[in-house]
Amino acid sequence: MAKNPVKITETVLRDGHQSLLATRMRISDMLPQLAALDAIGYNSLEAWGGATFDSCLRFLDEDPWERLDILKKNLKTPIQMLLRGQNLLGYNHYSNDVVEKFVQKASEHGIGVFRIFDALNDIRNLKVAIDAALKCPEKPHVQGCLVYTISPVHTNESFVELAVELEKMGCHSVCIKDMSGLLKPYVAEDLVKKLKAAVKIPIDLHTHCTSGFGHATYLKAVEAGVDIIDTALAPFSSDTSQPCTETMVAMLEGEERDTGLDRQAMTPISKYFLGVKQDLIKTFNLKGYFDVNPNVLDFQIPGGMLSNLANQLKEAGMEDKYQDLLDEMPRVRKDVGYPPLVTPSSQIVGTMATFNVMTGERYKMVPTEFKDLARGKFGRTPVEIDRKFLTDTLGIAPEDIIDDCSIEDAKATTFAEFKEELKNKGYINPSDEDVLSYALFPQVAEEFFQKHYKPITAYVKE
């Protein structure tokens, strides 16, 4: 056994199918292999958060809280979730008490590792969620993220500064979250070395294979001393997903950082999930694979977004404008202060770029969310946005420009107010979990409730 084995976080139950199959894996697809996954010896199993909550309610007719209960019942390996700080799992900023209640309930239902990030790397948007997770009586592991991106203002040194702040905030580990596969192997080596020298807590690396760098980036990071890497079992790996679990385990066998995991034990699990993949592609009419595209270094769109943007153009009869869209993304990103492109900033910038291409005139139609990002409602952008662009191009009044997003969060709807809204709709005694589902996705959650709770006035589940 290696003295310093690399730990593995397995993503097949969350990011693997989110990246390749639009988050359509059902709990019934997972259940037959939970015992086998549990026996492997993973550091954690990423199985909740990200887009899974929305997908459960919107597409799969599942209660995400019940899914988590089933996972908890069947797993001893820590269950990991991805949480967007003050955004939670929705697309708005939520009041502090909603964030605190959500974290508390997620911990109660079985989350053992909270991976917490903010799309702008604004530390103010991480504080409430991190503090709430640290206070949970179940003592979950709290991991803070550096959302990795490349721009004229982002450097390895700036990411190290953020990691130092996360350690001071009480995080138990730091994750380099490379959602678009932008991290080059030798840059990863340098970043990991600098992080290991600056902080005492473990370093986790999460990347995607969109650019083709994935496995090489992990190898250099491992050589530099990274503690944990995120991988997906073969059928749900590579392309726009994570590097392959079996490949990385085999790559390190017999070496100084040998994972110690049994690759042969993974084979039947992978065979099963290959069948799941084929079934989901057929059931939901999905593509299921994506080509490696090194030009992601320029347009920086996360893997899960590429197919959605292409589909929007196709529906509008403008498929031939796809390359124009990829060219427009970096220009819009520059205009709005070089935000890292990850949910929700990636969707906001992507939609704006799509409007610019489809109308043939830049900023002729400007969505409210783009104005909110530009005026500071989501936090501080890496580069201050030109005031003339804000006022003249986007039509934002000077008094609407926000310096402190936390003041805006304080004005957001409270948990008690969301609960009262549900009661006024006829749901007599909603659970805290259902109030949270409603807070995140009001229309989708209500449609789910109407289908599963009858009669509404009694709020009794069938």
The model's pLDDT over 213-253, given as tens digits with 9 standing for 90+, comes to: 999 999 999 999 999 999 999 999 999 999 999 999 999 99
Number of neighbours of residue 393 by Cβ within 10 angstroms? 14
**Structure tokens that stand for 277 in this block:** 């993949």
- Whole-Å CA distances, 412 to 96, 98, 102, 407: 9, 9, 15, 9
Whether residue 198 contacts residue 163, with contact meaning beta carbons closer than 8 Å, is answered with: yes
Sign of the alpha-carbon dihedral angle for 186, 191, 192, 194: positive
The pLDDT of residue 457 is above 60? no
3.40.50.300, 3.20.20.70, 3.40.630.30, 3.10.20.30: CATH of 7-284: 3.20.20.70
The pLDDT of residue 404 is above 90? no
Number of neighbours of residue 426 by Cβ within 10 angstroms? 14
Q: Quick one: which H or E segment has residue 132?
A: helix 127-135
Question: Which is nearest to 196 in space by CA: 231, 156, 169, 230?
Answer: 156
Cα(112)–Cα(71) distance, rounded to whole angstroms?
11
Query: Is-same-fold flag (7-284; 301-409)?
Result: no
User: Would you list the domain boundaries of the chain?
Assistant: 7-284, 301-409, 413-452
Cβ-based neighbours of 225, under 8 Å, separated by 6 or more: 192, 193, 196, 203
Question: Which is nearest to 344 in space by CA: 89, 10, 27, 56?
Answer: 89
Question: Which is nearest to 116 in space by CA: 149, 142, 90?
Answer: 142
Question: Which is nearest to 253 in space by CA: 237, 239, 266?
Answer: 266
Helix 322-335 vs helix 345-359: angle between axes, to the nearest 10 degrees?
120
In tens, the pLDDT along 14-63 reads 999 999 998 999 999 999 999 999 999 999 999 999 999 999 999 999 99
Across 415-432, average pLDDT: 92
92 pLDDT band, cuts 50/70/90, is confident
> For position 130, what pLDDT does the model report?
98
The residues pairing with 229 across neighbouring beta strands, listed in sequence order, are: 8, 205
Question: Which is nearest to 122 in space by CA: 381, 343, 317?
Answer: 381
C-alpha dihedral over 121, 124, 128, 130, to 10 degrees? Answer: 40
The single residue listed with the structure tokens 């292999």 is 33
**Structure tokens that stand for 193 in this block:** 């070395």
Cβ-based neighbours of 344, under 8 Å, separated by 6 or more: 84, 87, 91, 119, 369, 378
454 pLDDT band, cuts 50/70/90, is low
- Whole-Å CA distances, 437 to 66, 363, 460: 12, 34, 17
What's the full length of the chain, in residues? 462
0.75 cut: is pTM over it? yes
Helix 185-198 vs helix 214-224: angle between axes, to the nearest 10 degrees?
30
Assign residue 327 a region: left if phi > 0, alpha if psi is -120 to 50, beta otherwise? alpha
3.90.1010.10, 1.20.1250.20, 3.90.1280.10, 1.10.472.90: CATH of 301-409: 1.10.472.90
The pLDDT of residue 367 is above 80? yes
